[in-house]
Homo-oligomer: A and B are copies of this chain.
Amino acid sequence: MTVRVIEVAQRVLADNDAVAESNRRRFHEAGVFVVNLIASPGAGKTSLIIKTMEALADRARVGVIEGDVAGSLDAEKVLGAGAQDAVQINTEGGCHLEAAMVRRALDDLALDEIDLLFIENVGNLICPTHWDLGQDLKVCLASVAEGDDKPVKYPEIFATSDVVVLNKIDLAEHVDFKRERFYEPLRPLNPRAPVFELSCRSGEGVLHWAHWLLGRR
């Protein structure tokens, strides 16, 4: 029975991968660079998108697909902050985005008017891990306020991401965050991913990250 469940899960993921590849082709044809942004609830995904957008003003037109269990708060926020276009996906209880949800969202998104697309995944450090959406870059965002033990406790997402962003570094002194306890388990999990430390609140480190991202495009 266990084996059978695993086989079904694998087929579902394989189906997802096929849709993700077709999304990826569509993005490449439109010349759009795509970031899949994964984090816990409240780590600062929307803030990172807004601050990156501001840092790249006039250098990249940004679109956003917002994934949430409920509401359209974030799509309104990023549009208010100057996103070229934004689409909200409500998963209605679902704990992660899937490639087919992104494909449907693309019907409402002006791909030819943007250069950079952020897909803000549902707030969850576990379930989105193995669902390819067709992105160029899978970014794991963690915040200092969550504590320094996240790589130990949620190893898969840190191991499989292309980049790690550590947000809210302005809070480090208020929350006993020890950098060595964060980096020591992270390095063997993922020796190649660059790590960007920044604060969306103070702005520290945002330009460095935004320019690196522009360079990857």
Q: Which residues of A contact B (CB under 8 A)?
A: 40-43, 68-71, 73, 93-95, 122-127, 143, 145-147, 149-150, 152-156, 168, 170-171, 174-176, 201
A73 to B146, CA, bound (A): 15
How many copies of this chain?
A: 2
In angstroms, how far is the closest chain B Cβ from the Cβ of A77?
9
What residues of B have a CB within 8 angstroms of the CB of A156 in the complex? 69, 93
A174 to B146, CA, bound (A): 15
Closest to A129 in B: B93
Choose one: B73, B145, B155, B175; the contact of A153 (CB below 8 Å): B73
What residues of B have a CB within 8 angstroms of the CB of A68 in the complex? 153
Q: Is the CB of B41 within 8 A of A150?
A: yes
Q: Is the CB of A145 within 8 A of B40?
A: no
Q: Is the CB of A154 within 8 A of B69?
A: yes
